[in-house]
Amino acid sequence: MPPRYPRDFHGHGPDRPDAAWPGGARIAVSFVVNYEEGGENCLLHGDAASEAFLSEIVGAAPWPGQRHWNMESIYDYGARAGFWRLHRLFTGANIPVTVYGVATALARSPAQVAAMQDADWEIASHGLKWIDYKDFSEADEAADMAAAIELHTQVTGSPPKGWYTGRASENTVALAAQQGFDWISDTYDDDLPYWAEAGDRDQLIIPYTLDCNDMRFATAQGFNSGDQFYAYLRDTFDALYAEGVEGRPAMMSVGLHCRLVGRPGRVQALRRFVEYVQGHEGVWCARRADIAAHWAEHHPHQRRVRSSELGHEAFVEQFGGVFEHSPWVAEGAWGLELGRAHDTALGLHSAMCRVFRAAPPEDRLRVLQAHPDLAGKLAAARRLTDDSTAEQASAGLDALTDAERETFAAMNSAYVAKHGFPFIIAVRDHSKAGILRAFERRVNNGTEVEFDEACRQVERIARLRLEAML
């Protein structure tokens, strides 16, 4: 197989599905509390250096071989004070929460775990430790993932149903999919859940957020005040809510950290946003587990044959006739860097047109010459391809009067004599009368102009054929 591009730029496409949220909600809002305190890089945890990520210390760097007392103290605040402030806020507002719980952090915080469970918060796994996995081998990351699941189960009494590493590697999603989680959130690529095919498993992905996230209080080009955080959350909510009113409901994730938004100077912004959300009708505040269950029920995955995954023979057999009697166009398209974006009629048409347009004029001329005359002898003798037969019939060209047939025959002869290829038009776009008008107009064009127009029509015919196939 030629190279196949693994990233998916198409997603749900221009017309995303109706999420059909419960009660006809216009938006689903998922509040996520990242519980990392006690799972961060620290010599006490067997790490080589101190933590340097997401704290009040601007420009922090790891301290190899040393404990960073200030960093540890900041993380401790999240567990000792910030968590309880968020717990009071969400339980008081009766809003369900998903926790991304680092297993070792949960193990070091029994009171907080009990509070999560008493509040019926979903506790998903946030990995074994709050560390970066970009340089881990696949085997080592898999071992940590297995250890995280085991420890999580011991601490909470049940295995996690959802997964989010956060500081992930290119292997994270594939490894998590092997564990059978109900959902995985290590992507940031959509406003709706979607299905990913991981071998024989259909894996639900619920994308997360790094923009509606209090982590930007601790990053460059981030939030300097609670007002900025609130305004950004509000604007995001307003945009998605309006889309829901228009019939395209989506979901909004809000990422929170106990040591960041749990500070008094920031929590009021979150409180205002919670009140703002609750001041709107048609809002579904849900745990990610609830969103996953809803999506699995109302939008189950349906596998289909994807053009980018077909072998050469099967690909050419299926698409070799899209450009009339010119399988070389399909062969060339198969050899391109195809991906999920090319598994639609529009996407595959784009790839095939690239091949057609890159071909020398003499090859494109042969494609034009492979097309039959409209209502010509081949049609009368029923020797057209199935596609051409259906196309001509769609405009009534299979039921001409004798006079109409003579008119077409005369115009065909005149056109071919002048230009050297038959008159080509995407007949599905026109009526019989419209085709005749185009015939009369175009026969007088110069051959260079008509060659370009005929090529555009060939591409249009190919698009219509692909739409009927895919």
**pLDDT at residue 20, as a whole number:** 96
> For 164, phi and psi rounded to 5 degrees?
-150, 110
Q: Global pTM? A: 0.89
What letter does residue 33 receive in the DSSP assignment? Answer: E
SS (H, E, C) 272-331: HHHHHHHCCCCEEECCHHHHHHHHHHHCCCCCCCCHHHCCHHHHHHHHCCCCCCCHHHHH
Q: What is the CA radius of gyration of the chain?
A: 30
- Our answer to whether residue 87 is catalytic in this structure is no
CB atoms within 10 A of CB 65: 9
Mean residue pLDDT across the chain = 91
Tokens of 267: 């929590």
**pLDDT at residue 381, as a whole number:** 40
Distance CA 86, CA 256 (A): 9
> For 441, phi and psi rounded to 5 degrees?
-75, -45
- Is 402 in contact with 409 (CB distance < 8 Å)? no
**pLDDT at residue 48, as a whole number:** 74
Element housing 72 (H / E): helix 69-77
| Low pLDDT (below 70) residues in the chain | 52, 57, 375-400
Cβ-count burial 371-395 (b if 16+ within 10 Å, e if not)? bbbbbbeebeeeebeebbbebbeeb
Distance CA 329, CA 116 (A): 59
Dihedral sign computed on CA atoms, order 96, 102, 103, 107: negative
Nearest of 125, 194, 185, 119 to residue 153 by alpha carbon = 125
Dihedral sign computed on CA atoms, order 377, 378, 381, 387: negative
Query: 152, 257, 294, 371: which is the annotated catalytic residue?
Result: 371
SS3 state at 86: helix
**pLDDT at residue 380, as a whole number:** 47
Distance CA 219, CA 223 (A): 8
Cβ-count burial 327-346 (b if 16+ within 10 Å, e if not)? ebbbebbbebebbbbbbbbe
- Is 348 in contact with 307 (CB distance < 8 Å)? yes
SS3 state at 254: strand
- Is 408 in contact with 400 (CB distance < 8 Å)? yes
